C-alpha cells in the first residue's frame, strides 16, 4: 500500500470538493475498494454481506456508498483495475498473506473467547479482494455506467500515466506511491468525509530540489512495496543522502548501503507497464433499476443497506449560482 513515510516529504494541501467540479479522476480501483471494504465490514454484521452460498459481497455496498460522493460533486471517476501482479511484489504479497494468516488465527481465538469488538476489527483486516469481489464490482460499475480501465500491471501506474497524458485531471488513491509513478496531482481521502487532500508532484520535487529519479531513490532507501527500506533511512535522511551523492548508487557507494533489485524497482516507477489503449466517456448514465436488482436480488444484499446510496446517486445534485435565478 505504499510507504507512508513519503508523506513527510510530499507537498500536500487540502482542496475543497467544490473546486473539483467538472474534473475527471482516475481512481486506483483496488485501493478505493479496499478502503470501503475495511470500513463497511468493520463495525457491522458480516452476514448482511454474505450470500447464501457464502460469497462475501460487501464490495457492492462499498461501491454504492462511495460513488455518490463523486457524482454529487460533478466529478467523473474512471476506475483503473490492477492487472497482473508484478513479480517483484511477490514479497509484499507473501508478507501480506502471512500477516493475514496471523490475523485469521487471532480471529479464531477471538471468536472462541467471544470478544465481539476484536472479532470485528480482525475481520476487517482479513478482508481480501476475492475473484467474486472483483467481478461483481466490475459488473456493478458497468451497470452504473462508470468507466473501467484495465491496467497491464499496477493500477496506480496506469492512472498516473493517464494523468501525465492529460486524459484525466487527477489520480485518486490513498497511496503515496502515486508520487513515485509521477502522478502530477493526486487526490487522497476521496473515501473520507470532508475535503480531500491534493498531493502535488512538481511541488514536491521543487520543495526538496529533487529530480523524479532522485525522488524514487529516496523512496527506495525508505522502503517501497517492492523492497525493504534500508535501516536508518527515514525520508529526511534519505533526501539528504540522495542530494549529497546524486543518486542511489552514489549513496550505496558512499554510505555502504545496498538495495536489492534497485534497477528493476526504479524502472517500475519511472517506466511502468502501461497502455495507451483506453477510452472512456465522461457522461455517466446509470441504469439504476438494473443495478438495484443486481445488488439486492442477484447478490442478496439487504436493500436497506444500499437504498440510501442509490437514492443519492439518483438525486446527484449540483450547486447553482445566484445568477441562475435572476
Partner 1 sequence: MFNAIVSADTLRTALDSVSVLVEECKLRLEEDGLEIRAVDPANVGMVDLSLSAAAFESYETDGGVIGVNLSRLEDIAGMAEADQLIHLELDEETRKLEIAIDGLEYTLALIDPDSIRQEPDLPDLDLAAEIILEGRDVNRAVKASDMVSDHIALGVDEAEDMFYVDAEGDTDDVHFELGREDLIDLTAGPARSLFSLDYLKDMNKAIPSDAEVRMELGEEFPVKMHFDIAEGQGTVTYMLAPRVQSD
**Residues of this chain that bind partner 1 (CB under 8 A):** 16-18, 65, 68-69, 71-72, 74, 193-194, 308, 312, 315-326
Q: At what angle do helices 116-125 and 29-42 cross, to 10 degrees?
A: 170
Q: Which is nearer to partner 1, 18 or 207 (CB)?
A: 18
Least distance to partner 1, CB of residue 305, Å: 11
Least distance to partner 1, CB of residue 92, Å: 30
Residue linked to cell 534497477: 263
Least distance to partner 1, CB of residue 191, Å: 9
Least distance to partner 1, CB of residue 39, Å: 8
What are the φ and ψ backbone dihedral angles of 96, each rounded to 5 degrees?
-65, -35
Residue linked to cell 513519503: 6
Mention every residue, 6+ apart, whose C-beta is less than 8 A from residue 211: 205
Cα–Cα distance, 5 to 297 (Å, whole number)? 44
Mention every residue, 6+ apart, whose C-beta is less than 8 A from residue 108: none
Cα 101 from chain centroid? 23
Q: Smallest Cα–Cα separation from 132: which of 192, 60, 84?
A: 60
Least distance to partner 1, CB of residue 67, Å: 11
Q: Which is nearer to partner 1, 114 or 194 (CB)?
A: 194
Q: Which is nearer to partner 1, 91 or 195 (CB)?
A: 195
Q: Which is nearer to partner 1, 73 or 266 (CB)?
A: 73
Grid coordinates of 215 = 525522488
For residues 141, 142, 145 and 150, what is the CA-based torsion angle, rounded to 10 degrees? 80
How far is residue 193 from each of residues 65, 119, 190, 197, measured CA to CA in Å? 12, 25, 8, 12
Q: Which is nearer to partner 1, 52 or 322 (CB)?
A: 322
Q: Which is nearer to partner 1, 18 or 263 (CB)?
A: 18
Q: Which is nearer to partner 1, 69 or 185 (CB)?
A: 69
Exposed/middle/buried for residue 61 (C-beta within 10 Å: 0-12, 13-18, 19+): buried
Least distance to partner 1, CB of residue 315, Å: 6
Least distance to partner 1, CB of residue 15, Å: 13
SS3 label, residue 320: coil
Amino acid at each position: 500500500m505504499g510507504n507512508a513515510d513519503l508523506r513527510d516529504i510530499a507537498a500536500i494541501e487540502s482542496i475543497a470538493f467544490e473546486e473539483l467540479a467538472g474534473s475527471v479522476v482516475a481512481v486506483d480501483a483496488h485501493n478505493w475498494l479496499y478502503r470501503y471494504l475495511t470500513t463497511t465490514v468493520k463495525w457491522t454484521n458480516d452476514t448482511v454481506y454474505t450470500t447464501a452460498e457464502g460469497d462475501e459481497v460487501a464490495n457492492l455496498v462499498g461501491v454504492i456508498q462511495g460513488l455518490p460522493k463523486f457524482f454529487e460533486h460533478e466529478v467523473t471517476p474512471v476506475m483503473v483495475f490492477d492487472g497482473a501482479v508484478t513479480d517483484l511484489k511477490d514479497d509484499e504479497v507473501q508478507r501480506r498473506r502471512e500477516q493475514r494468516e496471523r490475523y485469521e488465527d487471532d480471529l479464531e481465538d477471538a471468536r472462541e473467547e467471544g470478544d465481539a469488538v476484536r472479532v470485528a476489527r480482525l475481520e476487517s483486516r482479513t478482508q481480501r479482494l476475492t475473484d467474486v469481489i472483483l467481478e461483481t464490482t466490475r459488473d456493478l460499475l458497468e451497470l452504473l455506467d462508470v468507466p473501467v480501465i484495465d491496467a497491464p500491471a499496477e493500477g496506480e501506474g496506469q492512472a498516473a500515466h493517464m494523468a501525465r497524458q492529460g486524459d484525466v485531471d487527477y489520480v485518486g488513491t490513498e497511496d503515496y506511491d502515486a508520487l513515485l509513478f509521477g502522478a502530477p496531482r493526486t487526490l487522497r481521502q476521496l473515501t473520507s468525509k470532508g475535503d480531500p487532500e491534493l498531493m502535488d508532484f512538481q511541488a514536491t520535487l521543487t520543495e526538496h530540489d529533487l529530480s523524479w529519479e532522485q525522488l524514487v531513490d529516496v523512496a527506495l532507501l525508505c522502503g517501497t512495496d517492492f523492497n525493504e527500506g534500508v535501516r536508518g533511512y527515514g525520508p529526511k535522511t534519505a533526501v539528504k543522502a540522495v542530494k549529497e551523492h546524486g543518486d542511489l548508487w552514489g549513496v550505496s557507494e558512499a554510505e555502504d548501503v545496498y538495495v536489492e533489485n534497485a534497477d528493476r524497482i526504479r524502472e517500475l516507477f519511472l517506466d511502468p507497464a502501461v497502455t495507451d489503449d483506453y477510452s472512456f466517456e465522461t457522461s455517466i448514465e446509470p441504469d439504476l433499476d438494473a443495478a438495484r436488482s443486481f445488488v439486492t436480488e442477484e447478490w442478496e444484499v439487504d436493500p436497506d443497506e444500499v437504498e440510501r446510496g442509490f437514492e443519492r446517486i439518483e438525486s446527484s445534485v449540483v450547486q447553482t449560482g445566484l445568477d441562475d435565478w435572476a
